[in-house]
Amino acid sequence: MKNQYITGLLFVLLSFGMQPAMAGELLIGAKTGIHSFDFDSAGSEDPTIDAVIKIGYEFMDLLIFDLAAEVEFTTSLTEGEADNEDFSNVSFGAFASFRTAGPIYFIGRVGIVDTEIDFEDTNNLDDTATALGLGIGFSTGFRWELEFTSYDYGDDIGGSSEYLSLGFSF
């Protein structure tokens, strides 16, 4: 039992000692862009214009890249159309992101997103998607980022969607 207390105490002390080296950075941002859905059951689709609020934490600054955990809330600003029926979407996602070092940097993201699509005249759809994204950023105190993210949905929504966005964070 004594060894467990000593091990726990050493762990706590080492954790505090490593804090400056692992000190992270809070990210708060917003982005907007065109979100194009490709429903399996629909003929033609018109995209939505979406707005995103993003909160993240860069918890690991390595020499060549930064690693961050991010959450995003997305809502459509305009309605899309599928098979002559208007729809809007709301989603909440969790992402692991990395950004290369430097004032101009590349972005890679992977995540899970829960999306609800509200059709004007028929049932609503709710599904979870896996998301992969790539982008490029420019840091001027604020971070300006252009990203392309692809979502692959399960059986309820079916199909996929693509989101091209421009945003900033600080």
| pLDDT tens profile 9-42 | 444 444 444 444 456 889 999 999 999 998 876 6
Beta strands in 39-103 (DSSP E): 45-46, 48-61, 65-76, 80-82, 85-100
**Domain 23-169 coded CATH 3.40.50.300:** no
Number of H helices, E strands in the chain: 1, 10
Domain boundaries defined on the chain: 23-169
Question: Each residue of 144-162: pLDDT tens digit?
Answer: 999 999 999 987 777 899 9
What distance in Å separates the CA atoms of residue 169 and residue 12, rounded to the nearest whole number? 33
